[in-house]
Amino acid sequence: MLEQKIDCVADHADSPHPLHPVRPSELASLFDRLPAAQTRFLRDLGFEAKQGELQFLPGADGVAGAVLGLAEDRSPFVFGDLAYRLPAGTSWRLEPGDYDTASATLGFCLGAYRYTTLKSADRAPATLVAADQARSLSQARAIWMARDLINTPANLLGPVELAEFAAALGARYGAEVNIAAGDALVAGYPTVAAVGAGSARPPRVTTFRWRGSAAHADSPLVSLCGKGVCFDTGGYDLKPSAGMLRMKKDMGGAACVLALARMVMEADLPVRLAVRVGCVENSVSGTAMRPSDVLRTRKGLTVEIGNTDAEGRLVLCDLLADAAEEHPAVLIDYATLTGAARVALGPDLPALFCNEDAWAESVLRAGVDSHDPLWRLPLWRGYDPWLSSSVANLNNISSKPFAGSIVAALFLQRFIPADMAWIHIDLYAWNDQLQPGRPEGGEAQAIRALFGAIMQRTGGGT
Q: Output helix, strand, coil percentages for the chain, rounded to the nearest 5.
A: 35, 20, 40
Burial 130-156 (b: 16+ CB within 10 A, else e): beebebbbbbbbbbbbbbbbbbbebee
Please state, in angstroms and rounded to a whole number, the distance separating the CA atoms of residues 290 and 239: 15
Report in angstroms the alpha-carbon separations of 372 from 220, 394, 438, 450.
Answer: 24, 34, 12, 9
User: Catalytic site residue 298?
Assistant: no
206 forms bridges with which residues in the sheet?
A: 179, 277
Beta strands in 158-316 (DSSP E): 176-180, 204-211, 221-232, 272-282, 294-296, 302-304
Please state, in angstroms and rounded to a whole number, the distance separating the CA atoms of residues 299 and 414: 10
Q: Which of 93, 135, 209, 239 is catalytic?
A: 239
User: Catalytic site residue 313?
Assistant: yes
Please state, in angstroms and rounded to a whole number, the distance separating the CA atoms of residues 225 and 375: 20
End-to-end CA distance of the chain: 28
Please state, in angstroms and rounded to a whole number, the distance separating the CA atoms of residues 80 and 73: 12
Q: Which of 249, 313, 342, 438 is catalytic?
A: 313
Please state, in angstroms and rounded to a whole number, the distance separating the CA atoms of residues 170 and 94: 35
The residues assigned a catalytic role are 239, 313
